[in-house]
Amino acid sequence: MFVDRVKLHVKAGKGGDGIVAFRREKYVAYGGPSGGDGGNGGNVVFMVDEGRTTLLDLRYQKKVLAENGGNGKTKKMHGASGNDMIVKVPQGTIVKDAKTGRMIADLTRHGQKEIIARGGKGGRGNFHFKSSKNTAPQYSELGAPGEEFDIQVELKVLADVGLVGFPSVGKSTLLSVVSKARPEIAEYHFTTIAPNLGMVQVPDGRSFVMADLPGLIEGASQGKGLGHQFLRHIERCRVILHVVDMGANDGRDPLEDYRIINEELANYEYRLMERPQIVLANKMDLEHAEENLKRFKEAYPDVEVFETTTIIAEGLEPVLYRAADLLETTPQFPLYNDEKVDAQAEGVLYKFEPEAPAFEVRNLGNGQWELVGEELERSFKMSKLNNEEDFMRFARKMRKMGIDEALRNAGCQDGDIVCICDIEFEFID
C-alpha cells in the first residue's frame, strides 16, 4: 500500500524538575543549597531513511512522543536529558503545521535530520536562587513543557521528469520501456494509483529519474479523481512529459485532452505551467493517429511534438535526449507559495513572524479577567506554587513582566478574579 499523507500529533519531552536540597556533610555546617537542575526533554526528530518509500509506518501512529528529562539530584547533579524520538521517513517528505499550514521541514537529502518539536528546558535547582538575602532558598523550578502540536506529513516524490496525461494513454508503458521499473499495466483506467519511479539512461551517458504518476481527469486540481494525490508528486519535477493518446480509440479527442490537462496544471497552486513541457504524441500506430496529429499541430503550431509508439519503443530516443537537455538548463522550482522564501533553502524553513506579546489581558465581565500568552503560560507551568514563598516569587515575576500595571490599565479592580491556566487568583491593588 502506498501512503503519501498522514496527520500526526507530536509532543516533545518535558524538562525535568529542579529540586530543593542542601549539602549535608560531616564537619560542614550550613552547607548551603545543592539541588541540581532537571535534564532537558527529548526532541521529536524526523530523519530521511533511504529504505523507506511510503509513509505507511506512520499511518496508524497517531501520536509521536519524546522522552521527558530526568529530575535534578542532590550535590548539584543534573538530571538525565530525555532521549530524542527519531521518526524515519522517505526522501522527499514535507512536514507542515496542521493548524497554520506553515512548512516546518523539507527532507530531501539522504540521512538528513530535522527537529520538528523541541523538548522543554530542565528546571533550575535551588542553588541558583541563593542570594545574600536568602542563603537557604526553599524554591526550585519545574521543567518547561515540550512543544506539542498537530502536523501534516506529506510525501512528494523526488523525480526530474514527471509523466502527465489522462488514464491509459501509455505513461506506464513508457516508463517500463525506458527504465527497469515495472509498473502495473492493464487495459482499464487508473491502473496506476501510486507513483512509480525509474532511472532512465540516455544513450550519451546522461541519466535522470522519471516518475509515472496516476492519471489526471478534469477537475483534478479541485481534488476530483486522484486529484491532489497526483498533483503533489509533480511539484518537485523540473520537466513535464505530457503524453497524449493520438489514436483516441476510446472516442476521446486528443486536442481536448491536451487542453484539459494543461488547464488542471495551471489551476494548481505550485506554478506547474512554468516548467518546460515535452508533448509526446503516443499510439501513432492506430488508425486515426495521423489525422489527429495533423489537427493537433494546426491547433498548437508552436508546440514541439514527438511522435511515438511506446508499446514497441518507437520514437523514444529523441524524447530522452530532449528531456536531458532541458534538465541541464532548468533550475529547481520552489515548493512554497511565498516568493519571499528562498527557493534554494533546504532543511528547516524559517519565516519571519512578528514576536507575540508575552501576555494578553482579557475582560470576561462580572469582575473576571483572564491572562493568556505563551511566555506567561510557560513561566506559570515552570513555577512551583506549594507555599507562600512560591506565591510571592511568582507575584514578583508577574509584576516584573508588567502584568499588574496592565491589569490596572484594563480596569481591573481590587478583589477581582484573575485566571491563569485555569487557576484563579484574587487581584490585590
* Interval 376-398: pLDDT, tens: 888 888 887 777 777 888 888 88
The answer to whether residue 342 is domain-embedded is no
Of 155, 178, 212, the last residue of a domain is 155
Tell me, what CATH number does 375's domain have?
3.30.300.350
Residue 105 has pLDDT above 60, yes or no: yes
pLDDT confidence bin for 152, thresholds 50/70/90: very high
Identify whether residues 246 and 138 lie together within a single domain: no
pLDDT at 3: 60
Residues 163-168: what's their mean pLDDT?
A: 85
Give the lowest-confidence range in 104-118, 149-163, 210-224, 327-341. Answer: 210-224
What is the pLDDT, as a whole number, of residue 1? 39
Q: Indicate whether 10 belongs to any domain.
A: yes
φ/ψ bin of 124: left (φ > 0), alpha (ψ from -120 to 50), beta (otherwise):
beta
User: Do residue 96 and residue 197 come from a single domain?
Assistant: no
Q: Cα Rg for the chain, rounded, in angstroms?
A: 31
Instruction: Please write the tens of the pLDDT for every residue from 42-72.
Output: 999 999 988 787 788 888 888 999 999 999 9
Lowest-confidence range among 5-19, 212-226, 239-253?
A: 212-226
Three-state DSSP class for residue 425? strand
Q: What amino acid occupies position 195?
A: P
**Is 353 contained in some domain?**
no
pLDDT at 182: 61
Domain co-membership, 48 together with 92 = yes
Q: Are residues 134 and 188 in the same domain?
A: no
Question: Which three cell numbers mark 195?
Answer: 507513483
CATH of the domain at 215: 3.40.50.300
pLDDT of residue 160: 87
Rounded CA-CA distance 194/401 in Å is 54
pLDDT value, residue 194: 62
Residue 171, φ and ψ in degrees, nearest 5: -65, -45
Same-domain check for residues 132 and 196:
no
Report how far residue 282's alpha carbon sits from residue 290's, in angstroms, rounded to the nearest whole number: 11
Residue appearing with cell numbers 509515472: 212
Using DSSP's 3-state secondary structure scheme, residue 94 falls into strand
CA angle 281, 286, 289 (to 5 degrees): 45
- Average pLDDT over the chain, rounded to an integer: 83
E-state strands within 311-377 = 347-348, 360-365, 368-372
pLDDT in tens, 403-428: 888 988 999 988 899 998 888 888 88
pLDDT (mean) for 338-364? 59
Residue type, 63: K
- Domain shared by 9 and 149, yes or no: yes
Answer yes or no: do 20 and 76 share one domain: yes
Final residue of a structural domain among 280, 308, 329: 329
- When mean pLDDT is compared over 3-7, 134-138, 228-232, the highest value belongs to 134-138
Confidence tier at 356 by pLDDT (50, 70, 90)? low
Residue with more model confidence, 425 or 339: 425
Distance between CA 289 and CA 287 in Å, rounded? 6
Q: How far is CA 302 from the centre of its chain?
A: 39
Q: Is the pLDDT of residue 82 over 60?
A: yes
Hey, what long-range contacts does 272-275 have (CB within 8 A, 24 or more apart)? 272/231, 272/234, 272/235, 272/240, 274/333, 275/237, 275/238, 275/239, 275/240, 275/330, 275/333
Euclidean distance between CA atoms 383 and 377, whole angstroms: 10
- Sequence letter at residue 35: G
pLDDT digit string, tens, across residues 275-288: 899 999 999 999 88
Rounded alpha-carbon distances, angstroms, from residue 365 to 27, 148, 360, 403, 405: 60, 31, 15, 18, 19
The model's pLDDT over 124-147, given as tens digits with 9 standing for 90+, comes to 998 998 888 888 888 889 999 999
pLDDT at 41 exceeding the cut of 80: yes
Instruction: Report pLDDT for 242.
Output: 93
Residues near 147 by Cβ (< 8 Å), separated by ≥ 6? 10, 11, 12, 44, 117, 118, 119, 120
Confidence of residue 185 (pLDDT cuts 50, 70, 90): very low
Q: What is the mean pLDDT of residues 94-121?
A: 91
Query: Is 389 inside any structural domain?
Result: yes
The predicted model gives 154-166 an average pLDDT of 84
Q: Are residues 267 and 403 in the same domain?
A: no
Q: How far apart are CA 429 and CA 412, in angstroms?
A: 9
C-alpha 345, offset from chain centre: 14
List the domain range (segments joined by +) for residue 416.
360-426
Residue percentage of the chain with pLDDT more than 90: 36
Predicted confidence (pLDDT) at residue 330 exceeds the cutoff of 80: yes
Query: Does the structure show a pLDDT above 70 at 336?
Result: no
